[in-house]
A and B are shown apart, each in its own frame.
Chain A
Amino acid sequence: MITENCHPGLHKETALTPGNFLDPEVRAFLEENTEVISSGNLTPEIRLRLLTPRCRFWKERADLWPFADPFWAIYWPGGQALSRYILDNPDIVRMGSVLDLGSGCGATAIAAVMSGASHVLANDIDPIAGMAMVINCELNNVNPFPIAIKNITDTKLDKWDLIVLGDMFYDEHLADCLHHWLGKCIKMYGTKVLIGDPGRPQFTGHIIHRQLHKVMEYSLPKPTRQENNGLTSSIVWSYQP
């Protein structure tokens, strides 16, 4: 794991191989407060540790959670669509390099490994998300992939065959920033970009939306609808400026 955010048990700017950096106490906490789930979403073949109605924190006050908000403990609808698409269309990643930007639980990166990507990098700004991803890789008997804990748009561009982003266009400023950065990646390396989003107005109203090509729309399973008030479907878009 490459981390820029200091956290007890993690060391700044240290590349760590998954498996040897999991603080046993944090791991125990994550396992105690999440549940292994493999149904109710678009990818029943991927097992994930998530926050569910049977977990204490489902109804607990948010400020009692001891870490940053566990955005990784939710399998977001955009990520579900991307993962489903990659599992159904392995050719899109096979033998190629994949960057999963804003990985969260790591499902889309796991889907990329399962579909035969030769090199996968998962990225998130939350170190606890990195730990959750390692646990989720284990759950799926997937060789752990490298995880970069940092704002990757602040770093120099690398060559990727494919960049996937699930549910990242929720904020106008972030959307502007990603729009600009992705444009550069495509221009410099011809990278293919896939975006998963359930129809957030910040995304559909953003200028990037004019340069998207709709790849696939998935109807969300009932449990996912129930957990995402107001949402009914999720779409995979290809960004083609």
Chain B
Amino acid sequence: MAALRALVGVKRVIDYAVKVRVRADGAGVAADGVKHSMNPFCEIALEEAVRLRERGAVREVLAVSCGPPACQETIRTALAMGADRGVHVEVAAPDYERLGPFQVAQLLAALARREEVDLVLLGKQAIDDDCNQTGQMTAALLDWPQGTFASALTLEPDGQWLRVEREVDGGLETLRLRLPAVVTADLRLNEPRYATLPNIMKAKKKALAVLAPAALGVELAPRVTVLRVEEPPQRQAGLRVETVADLVAKLRESGCI
């Protein structure tokens, strides 16, 4: 079987369990001193790459994260979960705030070309900005086929084609993609493994390279301006009615019926 090389994007995001707060200046959310972890959909993408490696379909899994130095913790987690090598594309704080899916897709596409990978596996979206664009843009920039929201993945025995099952309205859709391709992971693709302390130790003996965006020939100029970030409106208190007749009366009163 062909031994492919896979690139997996691992984004560092505010942990899903943290109550997110909008910053006083209204330009973003408060991230300082807040627990961060790997975006759950990226964990699923990485798990799938490691499983492909365990099945002998992939010979190398490269984990990539773009952002400030703290992203290296996320890459280390990916290495502990089974990635072979890490690449940190260092984007300093001020640029990182303006980094959107288009810039990340440019960085990933440039890396995919440079590393000569056959498969780019990404989470379908990140839980911080919920953009759901990076995979699609990466595929477009590379001019590779894409299978988004994958819920199952099989490599055909010739190692040239990938079958991607997708959960669509009304059932399942199966796509056949010619490699190289971009695949984004949905929630039910797999259940990611937990990194134990020995895995974390072993990960310290794996290589992690740091690159500047310029080394990949990518300009980070933002194309989108964030005008304002606001908390969602506070939910108004409801009221309790005792009987059905009361309910009907209230609905009439408010013009609903």
Q: A69-B204, A170-B206 are in contact. Are A59 and B53 (CB under 8 A)?
A: no
Q: Is B199 an interface residue (CB 8 A)?
A: yes
Contact B54 A74 (CB under 8 A): no
Cα-based distance from A59 to B197 in the complex (angstroms): 6
* Contact among B56, B82, B205, B207 with A229 in the assembled complex (CB-CB below 8 Å): B82
* Contact among B56, B85, B193, B197 with A62 in the assembled complex (CB-CB below 8 Å): B197
Q: A229-B50, A232-B54, A232-B56 are in contact. Are A200 and B197 (CB under 8 A)?
A: no
Query: B20-51, CB under 8 A of A: which get 1 and which 0?
Result: 00000000000000000000000000000010
Q: A202-B207, A229-B193 are in contact. Are A69 and B201 (CB under 8 A)?
A: yes
Contact B205 A73 (CB under 8 A): no
Tell me the dominant secondary structure on chain B's binding face.
Answer: mixed
**Closest Cβ of chain A: how far from B253's Cβ, in Å?**
58
- Number of residue pairs A-B, CB distance < 8 angstroms: 63
Q: Is A96 an interface residue (CB 8 A)?
A: no
Contact A227 B198 (CB under 8 A): yes
Q: How many residues of A contact B (CB 8 A)?
A: 29
* Contact among B50, B80, B82, B198 with A51 in the assembled complex (CB-CB below 8 Å): B198
Residues of B within 8 A of A231 (CB): 54
Cα-based distance from A80 to B60 in the complex (angstroms): 22
Residues of A within 8 A of B111 (CB): none
Tell me the dominant secondary structure on chain A's binding face.
Answer: loop
Mark A residues whose CB is within 8 Å of B. 51, 53, 57-62, 65, 69-71, 73-74, 167, 170-172, 199-202, 225, 227-232
Q: Is B196 an interface residue (CB 8 A)?
A: yes
Q: A69-B204, A229-B81, A229-B193 are in contact. Are A201 and B60 (CB under 8 A)?
A: yes
Q: Which of B82, B84, B205, B207 has the most CB of A within 10 A?
A: B205
Apart from the given pairs A59-B196, A61-B197, A74-B198, 13 other A-B contacts in the complex at a CB distance below 8 Å? A53-B196, A57-B197, A62-B200, A69-B204, A71-B201, A201-B207, A202-B85, A228-B202, A229-B50, A229-B54, A230-B83, A230-B84, A231-B54
Task: Please report which residues of chain B, range 81-116, place their CB below 8 angstroms from some CB of chain A when the two chains form the complex.
Answer: 81-85
Contact A74 B207 (CB under 8 A): no
Contact B84 A62 (CB under 8 A): no
Task: Please report which residues of chain B, range 168-209, place their CB below 8 angstroms from some CB of chain A when the two chains form the complex.
Answer: 193, 196-202, 204-207
Query: B128-153, CB under 8 A of A: which get 1 and which 0?
Result: 00000000000000000000000000
Cα-based distance from A49 to B84 in the complex (angstroms): 27
